[in-house]
């Protein structure tokens, strides 16, 4: 697999790490998050949704521009 060495590829990696870090913090501090006010929970959910959406848009750009399919490694395992 030939990975493109471009700024968009590095931003894909950075947002992926950020999303992983967010979910680790969410599960680590779940009790405090449940105790937040409803409005604060909605703001947190919106920020997470924006982060995931940006990550998805970067995937779309890489797939269109560089023919980069991150799920192509599953072909090795004959899953797809």
Domain count, the chain: 1
Token digits for 77? Answer: 């395992």
Owning domain of residue 39: 7-77
2 within domain boundaries: no
- Is residue 52 included in any domain, yes or no? yes
Cα separation, 75 vs 77, in Å, equals 5
Q: What is the pTM of this model?
A: 0.73
- Quick: pLDDT tens for 4-52: 677 888 888 899 999 999 999 999 999 999 999 999 999 999 999 999 9
| CA–CA distances in Å: residue 77 to residues 43, 59, 67, 68, 71 | 40, 22, 20, 18, 11
Whether 70 is in a domain gets the answer: yes
pLDDT at 29: 95
Is residue 1 assigned to a domain? Answer: no
């Amino acid at each position: 697999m030939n990975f493109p060495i471009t700024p968009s590829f590095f931003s894909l990696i950075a947002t992926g790490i950020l999303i992983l870090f967010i979910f680790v913090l969410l599960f680590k501090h779940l009790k405090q998050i449940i105790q937040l006010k409803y409005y604060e929970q909605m703001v947190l959910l919106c920020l997470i949704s924006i982060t995931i959406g940006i990550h998805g848009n970067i995937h779309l750009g890489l797939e269109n521009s560089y023919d980069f399919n991150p799920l192509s490694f599953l072909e090795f395992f004959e899953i797809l």
